[in-house]
Structure 1
Amino acid sequence: MLADAIIEYQQRVDAQLKQHLSGLDDHAATLKAAMTHGALIGGKRIRPFLVYSVGTMLNVPLHKLDACAAAIECIHAYSLIHDDLPAMDDDHLRRGQPTVHIAFDEASAILAGDALQTLAFDILSQPIEGLTAQQQLKLVATLAKASGYQGMCGGQAIDLASEGKRIDLATLTRLHNKKTGALIRCAVEMALICTDASDKDSAAMLEYADAIGLAFQVQDDILDITATTEELGKPQGSDTQSDKSTFPQLLGLEGAQETAQQLVEDALSALKTLPYNSQLIADFARYIIERRV
C-alpha cells in the first residue's frame, strides 16, 4: 500500500510540475530548461507525499492539495540546486545525474533556483477551488516561513558556519530541525490548513512531523556512511569529506540508528491519539529509517 501510494503521489506531483513548467513561455529557454532539469531530476517526493497522504487522511480532495504539493516541491528543488553549487556543497551529481550547474552553468543554476522559488508562490497565489483566500494566504505565509530565515535557509547558514567545527548535539538538532525538518513540518501543516482539524489533532500531527523530519536527517547521515554511491545517486561519504558534523559522528553509528528508531517511535505515539486511519503515514514513518536512498 505504501509503495503504491508513493508512486501515485510522485506521478501526480510530477504531472503538476510539468504542467506549470511547460506553461512558461520560451523567452529564456535556457533558464526554463535548467528549472525543468532541477525540478524533474527525480527523487522521492517526500514533501508532496506528506501533503497528499495527510490531506487524504483528513478527507481533503486531492485537487485541493495539488498546488501545495507542487509549491513545496518547487521550494525543495530550488534548495537542492543551490545546495549543489560550488559555494555551498559543490556536488556534481544529484540522483545519479549531473547537477544543474554542471548540466548548464553556475549562473543558470542560481537563476533556476531563484525562479523555482518564486514559482512556488505564484502557484499558491492562483485561485484554488475549495479554499478561501484566507486559507491561501496562510499557505503562502507558512511556506515562506519554513523556507526562509526562520527555517530552511537559516538552517543551511548554520550548517555552512559549522563546517570544520565540532558542534554539540543540541546545535546539530536545531540546525536540522530548520534545514530539513522545517519543510517536512510545513508539508503536514499545509495539509492541515486545507481542512478543519481540531487544535488537538493538529498538534499531534505536527508532533509527528517534527519527529519524522529529524529522523529523516539522521537516516541521511547514516546512509552517507553505509550506502553506496550508486544507491545514493551522489558521492558516498560527502559529509565526511566536507568535514560536517553528523549524528553518527556525535553519537556513533549505532547511537544514530537508535536515535532514528526512537524518533519514529515518538512519531507513531503521536498518531495513536488521532481519530483517523493513520496507517499509511505510520508506515511512512517506518519507511523513513528503512530506506536505502
Structure 2
Amino acid sequence: MTFPQWIRACLDRVEIALQNGLPEVDCAPAKLHEAMRYAVLGGGKRVLPLLCHATGELVGAGSQALVVASVSLELIHTCSLVHDDMPAMDNDALRRGKPTVHVQYGEAIALLVGDALQSQAFIALTADDNGLNAVQQAALMRELARASGSLGMAGGQAIDLESIGTQLSRAELETMHGKKTGALIRAAVRMGALCGVTPEASAMSALDAYAEAIGLAFQVVDDILDMTADSATLGKTAGKDAQHDKPTYVSMIGLDASRDLAHQLGRDARTALDRFGPQAACLRELANLVVNRVH
C-alpha cells in the first residue's frame, strides 16, 4: 500500500465512524445535532487521526481501537476550532472553506456545539465493545483530558489571547504553541501507542520527541501560510495573525528563517524515529506532510 493509499484507508474509516457516532439530526435537539455534524463532517486535514493510526500500527494496535481514539481526538480538536472562531476569541467567519459555526447557527448554538463535542469525545472512548479494555480507556481519557485542559490546549489559547499586542520571547512563543497546538499532537501520538502494547520508556520518549518536533513544525508552517497563502487555499481567513497583532514565528524571526526552522524540525522528527527502523515509515511521511503542506 502506498502512503496516499494508507491515508485514504485511514481517513475513510475515521470519517465513517464520525458519521455514525454523532447524533442524527432527527434526534432532539435537532438544531444542535445538525450544527455538530456541520462542524465535524466533510472537512479538515485530520492530521491527529493519521498520527494516531501511524503510531498505533507501529505497536500492533487494532484498527477498531485506533479509530475510536482518532474519533475522540478529532471531536476535541473540532470543539477547540468552534470555540476559537467565536467573537470572544479569534472572531473568524471562515473555517474549512465554509462559514464558521457561530456565523451559520449563532453564538449560543456554537458554544453548545463545542461543549457537546467535548462530551462526545469521552463517550466514544467509553462505549461498549469499542476495542479498548478498561485500562486502555482510562489511560486514553487521561491523555486526552490533560492535552485539552488548562495545562494543554485551553491553556495555550489563554496565553495566545493574553499575548495579543505584546512581544513574547522565542521561548515564550514556543511554550504557547507547545500547549495550544502541540499538546493534542503529542496526545495523538501517545494515544496511538496506548492502543497497542505500550512501548518501553525509552521508545515512548522517542515518540514524545517526534511529537514535540511535529507539533512545533505544524505551528511554524501555520504562521508561514497565514502570511503567504490566500483564504481560498487555506479554507480560513488568511492574514488574521497580523490583523490581530499576534506574535508569530514569521513576525519574530522572518519568513525565510521560519521556513528553515520548519524543515529543521522535520529533520528532528525523523531523527527521533531512527530506533524504529522501516516500521515508522508512515510517521516519517507524516513529518514530511506537515512541513510541506500548502493549507
TM-score relative to the length of structure 1: 0.96
Q: Structure 1 counterpart of 2:233, which letter? A: E
Q: Which residue of 2 aligns with 1:271?
A: 273
- 1:23 is displaced (CA, Å) by 5.4
Alignment pair present for 1:199 and 2:201 = yes
Alignment pair present for 1:38 and 2:7 = no
- 1:102 is displaced (CA, Å) by 0.7
Q: Relative to structure 1, is the Cα distance of residues 119 and 129 closer, same or farther in structure 2, using a 3 angstrom cutoff?
A: closer
Q: Which residue of 1 aligns with 2:189?
A: 188
Give the 3-state SS of the residue equivalent to 1:90 in structure 2: coil
Q: Which residue of 1 aligns with 2:83?
A: 82
Q: Which residue of 2 aligns with 1:174?
A: 175
Q: Which residue of 1 aligns with 2:286?
A: 284
Percent identity over the alignment is 43
Supply the distance in 1 between the matched residues of 2:248 and 2:205 (Cα, whole angstroms): 29
Supply the distance in 1 between the matched residues of 2:110 and 2:146 (Cα, whole angstroms): 23
Are the counterparts in 2 of residues 215 and 260 from structure 1 also a CA contact under 8 Å?
A: yes
Q: Structure 1 counterpart of 2:282, which letter? A: L
Are the counterparts in 1 of residues 226 and 238 from structure 2 also a CA contact under 8 Å?
A: yes
String of CA shifts for 1:127-147, please: whole Å, max 9, x gaps: 345532111101101100000
Supply the distance in 2 between the matched residues of 1:236 and 1:126 (Cα, whole angstroms): 39
- 1:2 is displaced (CA, Å) by 2.6
Supply the distance in 2 between the matched residues of 1:275 and 1:232 (Cα, whole angstroms): 34
Supply the distance in 1 between the matched residues of 2:66 and 2:26 (Cα, whole angstroms): 25
Give the 3-state SS of the residue equivalent to 1:183 in structure 2: helix
String of CA shifts for 1:21-58, please: whole Å, max 9, x gaps: 14586120000011111111401100011111211222
* Equivalent residue for 1:239, pick from 227, 238, 241: 241
Gaps in structure 2 of 5+ consecutive residues: none
Q: Which residue of 1 aligns with 2:60?
A: 59
Q: Which residue of 1 aligns with 2:263?
A: 261
Q: Relative to structure 1, is the Cα distance of residues 79 and 259 closer, same or farther in structure 2, using a 3 angstrom cutoff?
A: same
Are the counterparts in 2 of residues 31 and 112 from structure 1 also a CA contact under 8 Å?
A: yes
TM-score relative to the length of structure 2: 0.96
Q: Structure 1 counterpart of 2:153, which letter? A: M
Q: Which residue of 1 aligns with 2:214?
A: 212
Paired residues, what number? 293
Moved more, 271-280 or 110-119: 271-280
Q: Which residue of 1 aligns with 2:254?
A: 252
Q: Relative to structure 1, is the Cα distance of residues 142 and 24 closer, same or farther in structure 2, using a 3 angstrom cutoff?
A: farther
Q: Relative to structure 1, is the Cα distance of residues 121 and 163 closer, same or farther in structure 2, using a 3 angstrom cutoff?
A: same
Are the counterparts in 2 of residues 58 and 276 from structure 1 also a CA contact under 8 Å?
A: no
Q: Which residue of 1 aligns with 2:112?
A: 111
Give the 3-state SS of the residue equivalent to 2:165 in structure 1: coil
Q: Aligned Cα RMSD in Å?
A: 1.4
Are the counterparts in 2 of residues 2 and 284 from structure 1 also a CA contact under 8 Å?
A: no
- 1:91 is displaced (CA, Å) by 0.5
Gaps in structure 1 of 5+ consecutive residues: none
Q: Structure 2 counterpart of 1:221, which letter? A: D
String of CA shifts for 1:90-130, please: whole Å, max 9, x gaps: 11011110100011100000000000001101111123455
Superposition pairs of residues 155-174 of structure 1, within 5 angstroms? 155-174=156-175
Supply the distance in 2 between the matched residues of 1:183 and 1:200 (Cα, whole angstroms): 21
